[in-house]
Amino acid sequence: MVEFLRKVGFSILIAVVWLGITSIAAIKGDNAFVEGDIRPGNILFYIWFVISIILTIRLYQKLWKQ
């Protein structure tokens, strides 16, 4: 039971950290929305988004397979 709660807590922690980092990069950096021309910041943000969501999902799969 304790191991299950650890997994749940770790999953929530990873989700909050990922969401925080991605939200700060998107909103503070003004990279989430393309207004006018596509800037290098927009491209880097979306590359970061795709790579980080894939790695986060793989981490969840590894965590919950145990």
* pLDDT value at 55 more than 90: yes
- Spatial contact of 56 and 18, defined as CB atoms under 8 Å apart: yes
Give 2-30 pLDDT, tens digit per residue. 999 999 999 999 999 999 999 999 999 88
Q: What is the mean pLDDT of the chain?
A: 93
- The domain ranges of the chain are 2-65
| Res 66: pLDDT | 80
Q: How far is CA 6 from CA 11, 16, 17, 40, 66, in A?
A: 8, 15, 16, 39, 12
| Res 19: pLDDT | 96
- Look up residue 28 and give its DSSP letter: I
This prediction has a pTM of 0.82
